[in-house]
Amino acid sequence: MRFLGFAVVSSAIALGACGGGGETTADTAASADTAATAAATTPAATAGAMAPITGTTHEVKMVGDDKGYRFEPADITVKAGDGIKFTMVSGGPHNVAFDPATIPADVKPQLSANMPNQQGELSSPMFMNAGESYTISFANVKPGQYPYNCTPHLAMGMKGTITVQ
Ligand SMILES: [Cu+2]
């Protein structure tokens, strides 16, 4: 029994250490509850934090004119820690929206944390006036290809893909 108890304490400490904190004084309080609490709280604590841009901020324009509605450039590749600043140029209202159905479950929490003032799940506010901008950090967003669009102009083809390396 003594050996089994020690094993439970070790796993609780290991789970806590993943999140940078947790129970490290469990010498006497070895129980399954301790391990369960650490496992339940660690992922939530990590997902809730906005991760600031540490690299390059790329620029994407939101345009609507006699050639149509579009993001310029529509397809863009960023590195870990980069961000994208979307700037309203003409033809609004525009927004920046990810279809939640296309974003993997293990990417959603961090992407959501990195999108301020959401008006719907993974949707930015609407921008009407030239010069307004919206910046999304892709720091801590897992590598992958993420399609996005402008909700009002999705039917007119205003969409693109963000690739995070
Ligand atoms: Cu638009």
* Residue 92 alpha carbon to ligand 1 centre in Å: 6
* Residue 132 alpha carbon to ligand 1 centre in Å: 13
* Residue 95 alpha carbon to ligand 1 centre in Å: 6
* Residue 88 alpha carbon to ligand 1 centre in Å: 9
The string of DSSP letters for 48-107 reads TS-----S-EEEEEEEEETTEEEEESSEEEE-TT-EEEEEE-SS--B--B--GGGS-TTT
**Tens of pLDDT, residue by residue, the chain (165 residues):** 444 444 444 444 344 344 444 344 434 444 444 444 444 444 444 457 999 999 999 999 999 999 999 999 999 999 999 999 999 999 999 999 999 999 999 999 999 999 999 999 999 999 999 999 999 999 999 999 999 999 999 999 999 999 999
* Residue 145 alpha carbon to ligand 1 centre in Å: 21
